[in-house]
Amino acid sequence: MQTFTINSALDMHLHLRDEEMLKLVAPLTSKTFAAALIMPNLVPPVTTKEALLGYKERIKEACKKDDFEPKMTLFFKNDYSYEFLKDIKDEIIALKLYPAGITTNSETGVSSMDVESLRPTLESMSKLNIPLCIHGETNGFVMDREKEFMPIYESIASSFPDLKIIMEHITTKDAVKLLDKYENLYATVTLHHLLITLDDLAGGMLKPHLFCKPIAKRPEDRSALLEAALNAHPKLMFGSDSAPHPKHKKECCGCAAGVFTSPIALQVLTELFDKNNKLENLNSFISLNAQRIYNFKAKEKAIKLVKKEFIVPDAYRYNEEIVVPMFAGQSLSWSIEE
Amino acid sequence: MQTFTINSALDMHLHLRDEEMLKLVAPLTSKTFAAALIMPNLVPPVTTKEALLGYKERIKEACKKDDFEPKMTLFFKNDYSYEFLKDIKDEIIALKLYPAGITTNSETGVSSMDVESLRPTLESMSKLNIPLCIHGETNGFVMDREKEFMPIYESIASSFPDLKIIMEHITTKDAVKLLDKYENLYATVTLHHLLITLDDLAGGMLKPHLFCKPIAKRPEDRSALLEAALNAHPKLMFGSDSAPHPKHKKECCGCAAGVFTSPIALQVLTELFDKNNKLENLNSFISLNAQRIYNFKAKEKAIKLVKKEFIVPDAYRYNEEIVVPMFAGQSLSWSIEE
């Protein structure tokens, strides 16, 4: 039987939430991933060292695994002092910037993306060599939000040439193109944006479980993302943006955005890279690129996949919490060797 | 208090379904409309005189009103004989053509939109002066489906210059433009496509009750539709495409397409035209244009609206059937005088 080994899988964009939901989803990542970059958009967001260390502790406890490392991020604010950032630097891998109100729990994000208003914090980050992760969307028409954000990426990238900037969960060919224009621009891409377009959400029946922000775009966008991922574009990393929302908030009359992929990501990525005869690039996409870009050495953690059918569970549960994964109830052609 | 009277409101694109659902929704149209063009996409579709007359009878019974006239349509097939169409002509207002599989209950629609394969039926219709209503979408990317259909409209319109062709539920600026290019092209537009874009479905939370086919498009498309409607473009008619789906099929993990607007259409249209200072055009848009285009005289039916708050019910029920209307639970500024 065909097998493939993924070494030190890294999820460079992950939502673990808190409390019961954290306890449900954290082990589903720590089972197969060696580390993950943890998003700070809790309620309230993670903006202090105390909150950060407390959250890290709760994550570790929920994981019950020593071979998983949560890489913490701080919620971007304009007015962090240099001293504060210097003090917290060793505890974090990056700051995450949200334009206010653009996605789940981002209400306290920045209200202006004008470089001058961001400058105080960005200058400190640049000096301290702390990377900046950005949710890059305007509040324009839903299909244009990422494209409209490109000039803002360009403005920050050129104003702070020593700052590493990661365009999070890119969804368009425009963003792929921008990677090659600025040396200090990088990106993550999700599993679902490699697989779906708006057609999958709304072309047939409406599929709330495929509703995400940024919204899945056009076929030519998916092609550009897929090509970059399959060829292990050196500036592109895997970041699942796996976002657990309770089942009842996905199947209702005003559904939350987010696709839950953590427990199936490795299987689906292996299937995708195998189908395209690019398995040799998967470890770069899912681990080596991120280690080089963020400049850290991941712990050893080998996960062996076998080409054997895996039926995705209908849901994952913990007490009252129920989360429905992507491909719920469907058959995948690769599974994790237990 | 400000009032406005709508005379002989016509809904030139309506789904009434059958059985319990018919009994629920038919009275919600017949209460305020003088007539409606009834879509034939039942299961099985309406393709015989017997089925047509039986359905018409059930509709009349469900309405319990003498001042409402169902205008029946026949489901388009390539192989209707001239004699059959001649015989049924007085019972119908039009034939409705669906590309196979393009929307609810369209599985037995035409598999090719090639003019030559449609010719036999279209020639008879042209001779007999029977209008053709078309659901004009390709099976391409969901945002492009109507635009991609434009060459097909052009091809039919130029091949059959004596055939009246109605582009149903148009959603794009391209379709509005096409109206002025061919004398024999007309269109209906829904209430919801005058009000929403893809942003309303998926720009914030996902709103299954705003999910429709064709999908709501871009802001510039809505603007073009709204401008044509408000100015009572002489080739544009109101057709609600009000489509009742049971509540449980709208709030689930694979939701049906369709917005239910019948019971609120007059109030919302009056609000919309009033807000834009175009009330003087509303009777043309909602009645006179259709009478001229389809060449019939509607029965007198005056509906008086008053500028007084109306809270839209959360749902409409009949036995086990529950349908959620657009603007459920929300406040409108015009109501129907009881």
In a domain, B325, yes or no: no
How close is the nearest chain B Cα to the Cα of A282, in Å? 29
Angle at B284 between CA B280 and CA B287, to 5 degrees: 130
The conformation of residue A103, written as its DSSP 8-state character, comes to S
A201 touches chain B (CB under 8 A): yes
Record: contact A141-B197, CB cut-off 8 A: yes
B44 touches chain A (CB under 8 A): no
In a domain, B305, yes or no: no
In the prediction, which pLDDT does A255 show? Answer: 83
- Residues in chain A closer than 8 A to B201 (CB atoms): 202
In the prediction, which pLDDT does A8 show? Answer: 98
Record: contact A205-B143, CB cut-off 8 A: no
ipTM score for this prediction: 0.91
- The mean-pLDDT minimum among A49-53, A249-253, B45-49, B166-170 falls in A249-253
- Amino acid sitting at position A126: S
Per-residue H/E/C for chain B? CCEEEEECCEEEEECCCCHHHHHHHHHHHHCCCCEEEECCCCCCCCCCHHHHHHHHHHHHHHHCCCCCEEEEEEECCCCCCHHHHHHHHHHEEEEEECECCCCCCCCCCECCCCHHHHHHHHHHHHHHCCCEEECCCCCCCCCCHHHHHHHHHHHHHHHCCCCCEEECCCCCHHHHHHHCCCCCEEEEECCHHHHCCHHHHHCCCECHHHCCCCCCCCHHHHHHHHHHHHCCCCCEEECCCECCCCHHHCCCCCECCCCCCHHHHHHHHHHHHHHCCCHHHHHHHHHHHHHHHHCCCCCCCEEEEECCCEECCCCEEECCEEECCCCCCCEECCEECC
- Residues in chain B closer than 8 A to A207 (CB atoms): 253-255
Mean pLDDT in residue range B33-57: 97
In the prediction, which pLDDT does A289 show? Answer: 98
Residue B270 CA to residue B322 CA, distance in Å, equals: 26
| Domain total of chain A | 1
In the prediction, which pLDDT does B259 show? Answer: 93
**pLDDT confidence band for B167 (50 / 70 / 90):** very high
Flag whether B173 is marked binding: no
Substitution target from A206, A245, A247 for chain B, most B beta carbons within 10 A: A206
In a domain, B310, yes or no: no
- Residues in chain B closer than 8 A to A208 (CB atoms): 206, 208, 253, 255
In the prediction, which pLDDT does B254 show? Answer: 74
Substitution target from B206, B250, B326 for chain A, most A beta carbons within 10 A: B206
Confidence check: pLDDT of B247 > 90: no
Record: contact A251-B254, CB cut-off 8 A: no
In the prediction, which pLDDT does B65 show? Answer: 82
Flag whether B297 is marked binding: no
Flag whether B119 is marked binding: no
- Residues in chain B closer than 8 A to A206 (CB atoms): 206, 208, 211, 254-257
In the prediction, which pLDDT does A223 show? Answer: 98
A315 touches chain B (CB under 8 A): no
Flag whether B245 is marked binding: yes
* pLDDT tens per residue, range A28-68: 999 999 999 999 999 999 999 999 999 999 999 999 888 99
Of A319, A266, A212, A320, the residue nearest A10 (C-alpha):
A266
**Chain A, chain B: beta-carbon pairs less than 8 Å apart:** 75
In the prediction, which pLDDT does B338 show? Answer: 84
How close is the nearest chain B Cα to the Cα of A107, in Å? 13
How close is the nearest chain A Cα to the Cα of B45, in Å? 20
How close is the nearest chain B Cα to the Cα of A255, in Å? 5
Taking only the tens of pLDDT, chain A with its 338 residues reads 999 999 999 999 999 999 999 999 999 999 999 999 999 999 999 999 999 999 999 999 999 888 999 999 999 999 999 999 999 999 999 999 999 988 878 888 998 899 999 999 999 999 999 999 999 999 999 999 999 999 999 999 999 999 999 999 999 999 999 999 999 999 999 999 999 999 999 999 999 999 999 999 999 999 999 999 999 999 999 999 998 888 888 776 778 889 999 999 999 999 999 999 999 999 999 999 999 999 999 999 999 999 999 999 999 998 888 999 999 999 999 999 98
Mean pLDDT in residue range B297-302: 97
Q: In the predicted model, what is the mean pLDDT of chain B?
A: 95
How close is the nearest chain A Cα to the Cα of B238, in Å? 25
* pLDDT tens per residue, range A90-107: 999 999 999 998 887 888
In a domain, B319, yes or no: no
Instruction: Find the helix or strand (DSSP H, E) in which A332 lies.
Output: strand A331-332
- List the catalytic residues of B: 241
- Residues in chain B closer than 8 A to A255 (CB atoms): 205-208
* pLDDT tens per residue, range B177-186: 999 999 999 9
Mean pLDDT in residue range B271-279: 98
B147 touches chain A (CB under 8 A): no
Flag whether B233 is marked binding: no
Domain, as residue range, for A226: 3-336
Q: What is the CATH number of the domain that holds B40?
A: 3.20.20.140
Flag whether B177 is marked binding: no
Confidence check: pLDDT of B64 > 90: no
Record: contact B209-A253, CB cut-off 8 A: yes
**pLDDT confidence band for B233 (50 / 70 / 90):** very high
A251 touches chain B (CB under 8 A): yes
In a domain, B322, yes or no: no
The conformation of residue A233, written as its DSSP 8-state character, comes to -
Confidence check: pLDDT of B103 > 90: no
